[in-house]
A and B are shown apart, each in its own frame.
Chain A
């Protein structure tokens, strides 16, 4: 907790907030930080006229300051059935990460929204601010149980429509969606949000330890795949997984987002304290 306290959510973009916050905003506003000058227009607040320049140039210029606003942090947490898999469990791991991010956001007076998604948005905290909301946030996260199929597109679309406020959007998911991730990420990538995608996979998915003739059951839709595990098949699976992850990364980075891959075998603290900092989400 102490370590988390020292962190804050960073955005590479200067995003406009709704309320006065502790973060520089795109907007010019009242803060101590100078942003620019502009010509005086009748009616401007005389307090911001730069008198020194007036004395030197005999013209009125208005000093503009950067507005300090709060930052919206959206954490999109995948709670589809497919996340309830692996050892350590993916859903549990993602909930831990979401809670940590939420905590960091709250203690830094950011506007934190945690949304749980599966085939849509299945739960949402609403915007929270301040340390006092930590308990509420954790309670929400704790009560989430993985259920239902993944439908990233539907979830992201709903989320994007209902959250117009710009901010940092962190998507925690395994991105195993048979409908494809592109449709979903389209809504959250670009424009409004500073996108961070964290793909969480369990070691069993990265390096499957399977043997024999198996009937693989999809946890979400009970789809069956009959396989006979052989070395070439495992090799091919790994190659496919790798290609899938690379294409996801490519998609995200091309749209200005940040992609981070993690295994649940990586201790959650290492992820939060090191990896997310390295990628610039936390500072």
Chain B
């Protein structure tokens, strides 16, 4: 973008000049057709003309002054006809793809700008459509972590502008790959572009360039990166939030939040927690204070700052509080002054009413397992004999959260719940519902493994966190046929030993051996494993703090939950965008539409576990308002910094108003006074 004007109609103007200027010269050199008038004598007239001319200045110029003025006037008019514009980008080509980022970071209002980045991008895109050549085509694609073609390739500028206007902001994260793919796919329809000598399509990307997949995308076509946003915009955002109930003390909730400062300067940020919009006071203070150094500072800069007497960074807050009923916890950073993005200032989490985890152990007797279960601090773990379990009434059988079957293959399963199976080495059996099959020998016997050591285990899985299983030995283990969608957590030297899979009923954790036939119960890892497993399986049960969704999530509500809500025909989803009535399919699970904005969504009628859903941004990449230096996927693409400046300035009327019109007046004056001049 340059202040030096660019001429949009220069060839038309040059053509017009080639016609008009010679025409003017010819007209000028043609004699004026004068009316003939007889007079008695011309000598007095001639003398008068002569006298006037003698007394007039610029005699030499006199003959040509009018011509000169007319030429200048004509040139000014031609100049304005050539449509000079300042602040002009190179004109778009014949085929253009307009990619507009509508992700969360595009909702930021940059310092000194009245418009959000998205509004600015839309305005500039409309200007681009305006400056398209007559035969130019364009298409409009909006993207966040999904992408959508709002207008396929067309000549129709009005349709393009309508499509641009239709783009609505979302709070979703940026993933540019789909946008690029869509652009490529749309462009593939035109076989013309593969001809040699045809310029590749121009792709105009209106974005701040912060895409999570910026480094693994490529794009055919000539990319122009219209960089939105300024690097001076401050933003403090909550980038991580975790809230947990302790299943040992169900009323206690621990909330942990991490913040980041994406502005240019260090800031002190008060953070406040509210429960159902009531601010919680901790030690008499309504807020906790954090001190955040700019995220953009590197290690050296941080060290230098602290070395020079600056405060050390404190970028997280922890709240411990008792929540005895269902509540919405809201963490809010209170420094709103100069904060570019609103969506990351608040994070919410829905806490269901506290309930103890209820566990049922079905066993014929297992000292270690019973001991370990009892040591977990659960409120009332039940231990039942398999016969008793089978004879339980449906109500009683269904009221547990976690079922542990020790060397027993249940004939009846509750409709929902989480299950841990300990298989009986040589004779292991599993209900069909578990999906994982017990391998059979060709003769139809249960296949089993002997003397199995541990090959590896998933050390980063929550269930196996902090466990050392290296010295675990198993005498006999059932051989399992693991389907592809099941997850093997512990691999033995001869086969899988711990498998987790999910079914419609719930989560299954299958231990392929009898713990009594291993040295595991004697290891420290055994009770820890059980603790972790309880904690993990509690997730998704009523007891856990509800997970928060990221923007754009489409949660799937299991049929069970719908049944519990009374199988409604329609569900109304009310969120920051307003209520939305959605018909519910007759059978199968039910997927909610994408929740695009940050905030709290509620369902009506309330569906158990989905009565309230919190949607939080919690994405450092989106909260980071510092625009990328180069285009995602193409380091060499030209970057146009879009600012608050006017996108394009038409100059022609300035030329007419301040050049041509005054000149016309001067010319008229000269014409009337031409005898003197």
Contact = CB atoms under 8 A, between A and B. Distances in A.
Interface string A57-96: 0000000000000000000000000110110001000000
A205 B35 contact: no
A55 B673 CA distance: 88
A192 B48 CA distance: 37
A55 B40 CA distance: 71
A225 to B, nearest CB: 4
B43 A236 contact: no
Given A213-B32, A230-B675, A219 B40 contact: yes
B195 interface: no
A214 B36 contact: yes
B676 interface: yes
Interface in A216-233: 216-220, 223-228, 230, 232-233
B41 A220 contact: yes
Nearest to A238: B48
A240 interface: yes
A47 interface: no
B40 A213 contact: no
Given A233-B49, A236-B52, A240-B51, A214 B41 contact: no
B253 to A, nearest CB: 98
B672 interface: yes
B46 interface: yes
B545 to A, nearest CB: 96
Q: Is the interface of A mostly helix, strand, loop or mixed?
A: mixed
Contacts of A213: 32, 34-35
Interface string A164-177: 00000000001010
A60 to B, nearest CB: 64
Interface string B36-54: 1111111111111101100
A12 interface: no
A86 B40 CA distance: 8
Contacts of B244: none
A215 interface: yes
B675 A228 contact: yes
Interface in B29-82: 32, 34-49, 51-52
Query: Looking at B45, B47, B672, B673, which has the most chain A CB atoms within 10 Å of its CB?
Result: B45
A237 interface: yes
A202 to B, nearest CB: 8
Contact of B42 (A86, A218, A228, A236): A218
B437 interface: no
A241 interface: yes
Query: Looking at B36, B674, B675, which has the most chain A CB atoms within 10 Å of its CB?
Result: B675
Given A213-B34, A214-B36, A230-B675, A82 B52 contact: no
Contact of A226 (B34, B38, B48, B51): B34
A219 B46 CA distance: 15
A219 B40 CA distance: 5
A66 B88 CA distance: 109
Contacts of A90: 40
A225 B42 contact: yes
A244 interface: yes
Contact of A216 (B39, B51, B52, B676): B39
Given A214-B34, A225-B49, A227-B49, A232 B43 contact: no
A176 B43 contact: yes
A208 to B, nearest CB: 8
B676 to A, nearest CB: 6
B42 A82 contact: no
Contact of A230 (B36, B42, B672): B672
Nearest to A218: B42
Given A227-B49, A232-B676, A215 B35 contact: yes
Given A228-B674, A232-B675, A237 B45 contact: yes
Contacts of A53: none
A38 interface: no
A214 B38 CA distance: 10
Contact of B52 (A83, A178, A218, A232): A232
Given A236-B51, A240-B51, A214 B43 contact: no
Query: Looking at B32, B38, B40, which has the most chain A CB atoms within 10 Å of its CB?
Result: B40
Contacts of B51: 236, 240
Interface string A235-260: 01101110010000000000000000
A210 interface: yes
A215 B44 contact: no
B45 A176 contact: no
A181 B316 CA distance: 116
A85 B38 contact: yes
Contacts of B40: 82-83, 85-86, 90, 174, 176, 202, 205, 218-219
B36 to A, nearest CB: 5
A218 B48 contact: no
Nearest to A225: B42
Query: Looking at A212, A220, A240, which has the most chain B CB atoms within 10 Å of its CB?
Result: A240
B46 A225 contact: yes
Contact of B37 (A214, A223, A228, A244): A214
Contacts of A241: 44
Contacts of B44: 176, 237, 240-241, 244
Given A213-B32, A224-B42, A232-B675, A240 B37 contact: no
Contact of A233 (B36, B41, B43, B52): B52
A223 B158 CA distance: 68
A240 B41 CA distance: 13
A173 to B, nearest CB: 11
Nearest to A232: B675
Query: Looking at A82, A90, A232, which has the most chain B CB atoms within 10 Å of its CB?
Result: A232
Contacts of B676: 232
Contacts of A233: 48-49, 52, 675
Contacts of B46: 225
A244 to B, nearest CB: 7
Contact of A214 (B35, B47, B672): B35
A84 to B, nearest CB: 8
Contact of B34 (A82, A178, A202, A215): A215
Contact of B41 (A210, A218, A239): A218
B266 to A, nearest CB: 78
Contact of B45 (A82, A227, A244): A227
Nearest to B56: A232
B188 to A, nearest CB: 69
B462 to A, nearest CB: 101
Contacts of A176: 40-41, 43-44
A240 B36 contact: no
Nearest to B31: A226
Nearest to B37: A214
A220 B32 CA distance: 24
A236 B55 CA distance: 11
Contacts of A230: 672-675
Interface string A158-192: 00000000000000001010100000000000000
B395 to A, nearest CB: 115
Nearest to B45: A225
Contact of B47 (A174, A220, A240): A240
Contacts of A174: 40-41
Q: Which 3 pairs between the two chains have the least Cβ-Cβ distance? A: A176-B41, A215-B34, A236-B48
16 contacts: A85-B39, A174-B40, A178-B41, A202-B40, A205-B40, A213-B35, A214-B34, A217-B37, A225-B49, A227-B49, A228-B675, A232-B52, A236-B49, A237-B45, A239-B48, A244-B44
Given A176-B41, A216-B37, A240-B48, 18 more contacts: A85-B40, A176-B40, A215-B34, A215-B36, A216-B38, A217-B37, A217-B42, A218-B43, A219-B39, A219-B40, A219-B41, A225-B46, A227-B49, A228-B675, A232-B675, A232-B676, A237-B48, A240-B44
Interface of B: 32, 34-49, 51-52, 672-676
Interface of A: 82-83, 85-86, 90, 174, 176, 178, 202, 205, 210, 212-220, 223-228, 230, 232-233, 236-237, 239-241, 244
